[in-house]
Amino acid sequence: MENEALELLKILERTNADNPNRWNVTSANLSTYISIKFILDNNIVIDEKIIEGWVLENIGRRHNLDQSLGLFTSFGNNMPTGYLKFMDIFGYQELSMGTKKYKVVEVKKGDCIFPDAITQFLDYVDWVVENIAEGDYKLVEGAIIAKEFNTDCITFVKNCNATGRGRKIQLIKFDYVPARYDHLNITRVV
């Protein structure tokens, strides 16, 4: 955001150089600003980025989401992990000076199907372990947020958590709250 503002000021300076009709920048009146509310409805949500946006907006603001994902010190979305591969949400929690718990969150707008969704997710976790966490699986935890999880997903994740080289994976189910279209029910499955 800071870089974009600086570039806009440069454009303004170039445009105003030797221009008798100078452009001026004035402060915006934000007193009438209305924030955009997410509308989460089965008929409207056709892209997982809407669910991802809701999660990003509500990290640190919704107790049930924070309880499921844990706390974040910093987070962002669309973290590249290779050619045309992007983690939906990536962040970390600073535990103590210099120690971080990295977090990978994969969002599915519908069902989480085994093995495809799990394989994609584990690729992201492995990438973070290899490239950021210095090979330590205990420094990385992850979550898949989906509308439903099939039995194979649940069984695999339970087994992986029990025997998976220190991996910690959570499955989090979401559902819409019909009376309030800007809210998701969040339930931890595993």
**Arithmetic mean of pLDDT, 145-167:** 89
Q: Is the pLDDT of residue 1 over 60?
A: no
On whether the pTM is more than 0.75, the answer is yes
CB 184 within 8 A of CB 40: yes
If pLDDT is split at 50, 70 and 90, which confidence band does 40 have?
low
- The pLDDT, as a whole number, for residue 57 is 87
118-141 tens-digit pLDDT: 999 999 999 999 999 999 999 999
Average pLDDT of the residues of the chain: 84
- The pLDDT, as a whole number, for residue 96 is 82
Domains, the chain, with CATH or none: 38-188 (3.40.1350.10)
- The pLDDT, as a whole number, for residue 2 is 58
Q: Which residues of 117-132 are buried (b: 16+ CB within 10 A; e: fewer)?
A: bbeebbebbebbbeee
